[in-house]
Structure 1
Amino acid sequence: MQTFIVVNNPDDWLFDIDGVEVLSAWEYLTNPYYSKLKGVQLFNLCRSYMYQSYGYYVSLLASSRGHKPLPTVMTMQDLATPGLLRVATPELDHLIQKTLESLQPDTFTLSIYFGRNFAKRYDKLCRHLYRLFEAPFVRANFERIAGRWHLTHIAPISANNVPEDHREFIALSAQEYFSKRRQSLPRRSKYRYDLAILHDPDDPMPPSDPKAIAKFIKAANALGIATEMITKDDYNRLSEFDMLFIRETTHVNHHTYQFARRAESEGLVTIDDPQSILRCTNKVYLAELLQTNRVPTPHTVIVHRGNLDNVEEELDYPMILKQPDSSFSQGVKKVNTPKEYRTVALQMLETSALLIAQEFIPTTFDWRIGVFDHQPLYVCKYYMAAKHWQIIKSDSNGKAQVGRFEAIAVEHAPPKVIKMALKACDLIGDGFYGVDIKQVDNKLYLIEVNDNPNIDAGVEDSIEKDELYSRIMRIMLRRVERRKEQRY
């Protein structure tokens, strides 16, 4: 992959970096040679990213040529939208407070060059902001108001507007940045495409265990797909890949969603895609969606402070209360009395304007149907943990006890269970989903549709074995080939 730095005037760029060509915006926009190149990574350091400026058109045309610009036009729009600064995720807000808490002045300016700053104590905050607003050079302004720090402004810095005393640090940062990129680029000619698998090595309950991950890698390699395990620190490397496969628990206010959104904007085949994450991770959305489309569910009430005292008129005890973004049985509580209901509901409403109340339907197991690209891939019965009403039982120390499982061939599963799962997934999209269904006698109740479903060695793959991993990789391969054909 060729790398270019584009500036208004090449004299603005004072550093010589091995393997990186510097050219003017005018040259890039008007010379037919550059429009015909394939496999280009472009770093746009023009003086302005304003709408219809040279900098704006450099990134816009780079995208149309199949090049990979940084920043993208989407990032430019984000940087130009003050309202976005007010939408700080809890993770970012916590990082801002922790990083800046010891500062004495009530204002602070942070210069970020390729995701770094002079002072290493700001590295985590710099990397996080770089993931949110991925531009080579940016300046972030913070203000302490009523004892809390707030990000008040963030804007790009052009190459000619860099302070002179920052230049030595920038030269070192740029050299290190581009050196790491070249070292990480796959060079194995037998592979046609590159797949990034996003994971959290410290997650005690990941969506796939190490054995399953190894099987995914083996299946991908057999299809000519090179694989690399990446973490949340590799956000700026997404453009090196053709596909992103998230094997980490997803949330909207989280780096997993940022990775998905960025990867999709870069043209990568992305599982999970950001739309699926948005839809599946919010149980309020799912409740409305399923009800609107007449998919049978347990009797469900959307709770807010205005109807808090009326829910008992519709649901008997015990009832289930769910935090909208709960996952892995966390944020899901069974309440048995009015006092318990009110205590738990008020706690949940502290962090969410809405929550879910649902009738309690006791069963010995839940059906789980894995679906990808509108196709059923596997069927499992997940049994409740011993002497518990959920599949996972966590003790006060956080240690989890998981119920047993029983895998069933898709063709041997009840057809109506498969039919319900496929109908629910069709309402979400064409991604990779895990559908949970309860069965009482002949009645089925859809509990939820999960993005990022579990695939653990010896569990979900008990019937299909290695073929399950191959089927998933073949779907991703078809998608990336289809995109390549459409682009060229």
Structure 2
Amino acid sequence: MTHSSLASSKVPALKWIIISPLKLDVIAPALGRICVSPAQFIAEDFGPHARVNRRTRVINLSHDYGYLTTSYYCSLLADARGVRCLPTVSSVIHATWKRLHSDSFAALELALNEADCAAATVGRVEIVSYFGRADHPDLQGFTRKVFDAFRLPAMKISLAHKNGRLHIRDIDSVSLAHIEADSAAFNESLNEFSGHAWGEDNNAQVAPKYWLAILYDPQEVYPPSNKRALQNFIRVGRKMGFYVELITKANIDSLLEFDALFIRETTAVNDHTYRFAQKAAREDMVVIDDPQSILRCCNKVYLQEMLKKHNIPTPGAQFLYRRQKAMPLIDPAGFPKVLKVPDGSFSRGVYKVTSQADLESRAAEMFKKSEIILLQDFVKSDFDWRIVVIGGTPLFACKYFMARGHWQIYNHASSAANKGDADTGDAVCVPIADVPDFVIDTALKACAVIGDGLYGADIKEIDGQAVVIEINDNPNIDAGVEDQILKDTLYQTVLEHFKTRIDRR
């Protein structure tokens, strides 16, 4: 490496490049952001003190995104250079050929005609939106959806009334003259979108460099992380250069603004958590849990077959199929057994059966929800090991004890007596060094089958052997429980994993 290239490597990389044919003083200056003309971008003329890397993003401002125009080529070159650009070259083409959005128009008009949104449009013939932001709070849900569909930084949405309903006549880019006249609102929206408004947080000890969204459900009864843990991620993140924002399922149209997504809500293949993971993956974001991990961990039939294929020890098991001719006859000495619905979580959908009649009765009920269910040997133990692994490395270990007088960690049958809360067993963290090597080795081998994200392997230690019960794609991280030993180091390690993966992008 030459002396000059070494020196240039010490220059902080640009976070944003804004390609703008606007007057130079329209876009307010900000740290880590430069404004260049289309000619400068095409020639990669960014000046001696500007360094571009894989995490640099481009905003392509234009009034004309037509095919083979200058703006088209700017987005095309950004894509060729491996730099994320808004709009992408695909979005440029789609914006010109609006017929490609015929399906999304119906959904957009439903959002437009929601009561609050419709009321905010009274007297309007058009809505101007910058980066999905509008000038009225009741329009934000609609304009965010339009932005998510078209990806135009500055949009003009023309409206029409017909048969008592609002319709979208046209969606187009905003003229440069309009942006220049409305520069204050444009810059405010730009700062929010690009994260510079977040950098004004006086409590931040390091200027935010990474933007992490944490998906959670404030109403969830058994969330993977309690409220204190979520606040710890925010607090620790500030010290590490992360801006961490809690989002809910209503914020799916805002994912574009983040570098990474951390799902702290119980996942399922058939709900919004999987859709969030898929969308984040399509946007080339770092996401935990990724769609593949959710798919593999959330179905116990899939998981059982994968563990078996990789010779990872599990309790003896077989699949029961609703359409099979007869229920298998179990030797009375083989009871009790455990029946599992494939997509249960937190001990729900898991039942112990003690006789052939009990098996057939319970299976008949479970077949109403799934064509296949899992029948496993019952393995008795006082506790389960939970070995949590991140990026192929052990993070922490806990002993989860069975609920008092029950065979599972959660006793949902006690919910009525406990005003809706299940009785749960104790949880005790154990230093990784004190966990038997064969338990750790089995956990690492099992988690490697799933991927390289964050997983919790539930293991029973039986006669010096480790038996994998299941693998969780979003294991619990609760303040006061799983962080008993590591304290803030637990949150730092998770965030460091995100940082490393974001930097690889």
TM-score over 0.5 for the pair: yes
Match of 2:221 among 201, 204, 208: 204
3-state SS of the aligned residue for 2:485?
coil
Secondary structure at the residue paired with 2:328? helix
What residue number does 1:288 align with? 305
Letter of the 2:451 counterpart: G
Alignment check: 8 A CA contact 2:198 2:243 kept: no
Tell me, in whole angstroms, the C-alpha distance in 1 between the residues paired with 2:294 and 2:470.
13
RMSD of aligned C-alpha atoms?
Answer: 5.2
The answer as to 2:457 corresponding to 1:435 is yes
- What's 1:330 paired with? 348
Q: Is the 8 A contact 2:128 2:174 kept in 1?
A: no
1:193 corresponds to 2:209 = yes
Aligned counterpart, 2:445:
423
| Equivalent residues of 1:439, 1:445 under 8 A apart | yes
1:246 aligns with 2:263: yes
CA distance in 2, matches of 1:37, 1:204: 47
CA contact (8 A) 2:297 2:303 kept: yes
Give deviations 1:405-429, integer Å, cap 9, x for gaps.
Answer: 2222212212211111000111122
Give the Cα separation in 2 of the matches to 1:426 and 1:448.
Answer: 13
**How far, CA to CA, are the matches of 2:206 and 2:327 in structure 1?**
61
Identity among equivalent positions (%) equals 33
1:462 matched to 2:478? The reply is no
Displacement of 1:262 in angstroms is 4.5
Asked if 1:384 is matched to 2:402, the reply is: yes
CA distance in 1, matches of 2:438, 2:480: 26
Per-residue deviation, 1:343 = 1.9
1:32 lines up with 2:48 in the alignment: no
Deviations 1:184-238 (A, max 9, x none): 456768336324241425133322223333443444444x323322303555555
SS of corresponding position for 1:337 = helix
d(CA) in 2 for partners of 1:199 and 1:414?
A: 34
Q: Name the residue aligned to 1:106.
A: none
Q: Residues 120 and 274 (structure 1 numbering): CA distance in 2 closer, same or farther, change over 3 Å? A: same
Q: 1:377 is matched by which residue type in structure 2?
A: L
Q: Indicate if the aligned counterparts of 1:193 and 1:242 stay in contact, CA closer than 8 A.
A: no
| CA positional deviation for 1:290 | 0.8
Q: Summarize the Cα distance change of 1:379–1:40 in structure 2 as closer, same or farther, 3 Å threshold.
A: closer
> Corresponding residue for 1:405?
427
Q: 5 Å matches for 1:47-66?
A: 58-65=74-81
The equivalent residue for 2:316 is 299
Q: CA distance change for structure 1 residues 172 and 225 in 2, over 3 Å: closer, same or farther?
A: closer
Judged with a 3 Å threshold, the aligned counterparts in structure 2 of structure 1 residues 457 and 429 are, in CA distance, closer, same or farther, namely same
1:159 — aligned with what? 173
Question: What displacement does 1:49 show?
Answer: 8.9
What is the CA deviation profile of residues 55-84 of structure 1, one whole-angstrom value per residue up to 9, with x for unaligned ones?
A: 77644533454644234468789999x999
1:193–1:241: 8 Å Cα contact kept in structure 2?
Answer: no
Determine which of 348, 359, 363 is the counterpart of 2:376.
359
Q: 1:306 to 1:404 in 2, by over 3 A?
A: same
* Structure 1 counterpart of 2:6: none
TM-score (norm 1): 0.69
Ranges in structure 1 where 5+ consecutive residues have no aligned partner: 87-91, 101-110, 140-153, 162-166
User: Which deviates further from its counterpart, 294-303 or 258-267?
Assistant: 258-267
Query: Quick one: structure 1 residues 391 and 58, their matched pair in 2 at CA, closer, same or farther if it must change by over 3 Å?
Result: farther
Counterparts of 1:158 and 1:332, CA distance in 2 = 53
Question: How far apart are residue 292 of structure 1 and its match?
Answer: 0.9
Task: Give the one of 285, 310, 321 matched to 2:340.
Answer: 321
Q: Which amino acid aligns with 2:441?
A: K
Give me the whole-angstrom Cα distance separating, in 1, the residues matched to 2:94 and 2:446.
33
**Is contact 1:280–1:451 with CA below 8 Å preserved after alignment?**
yes
| One-letter identity of the residue aligned with 2:364 | R
What amino acid does structure 2 have at the position aligned with 1:61?
Answer: L
Q: CA deviation at 1:27?
A: 4.9
Q: Aligned letter for 1:462? A: Q
1:472 alignment partner in structure 2:
494
Is the CA contact 1:391–1:402 (under 8 Å) kept in the aligned structure 2?
yes
Deviation at 1:322, TM superposition (A): 1.6
1:368 and 2:386 matched = yes
Aligned pair count reads 442
TM-score, normalised with respect to structure 2? 0.67
2:163 is aligned to none
Find the residue that maps to 2:233 and give its secondary structure: helix
Distance in 1, Cα, partners of 2:93 & 2:459: 41
Cα separation, 2, equivalents of 1:184 and 1:371: 31
SS at 1:456 equivalent? coil
User: Within the alignment, does 1:228 sit opposite 2:247 as a pair?
Assistant: no
State whether residues 68 and 266 of structure 1, in contact with CA within 8 Å, keep that contact through their aligned partners in structure 2: no
Structure 1 distance, partners of 2:256, 2:90, is 15
Distance 1:420 1:121 in 2: 52
CA deviation vs aligned residue, 1:258-277 (integer Å, no higher than 9, x gap):
44444455554433333323
Contact preservation (8 Å) 1:138, 1:157: yes
**Contact in 2 for aligned 1:195/1:245 (Cα 8 Å):** no
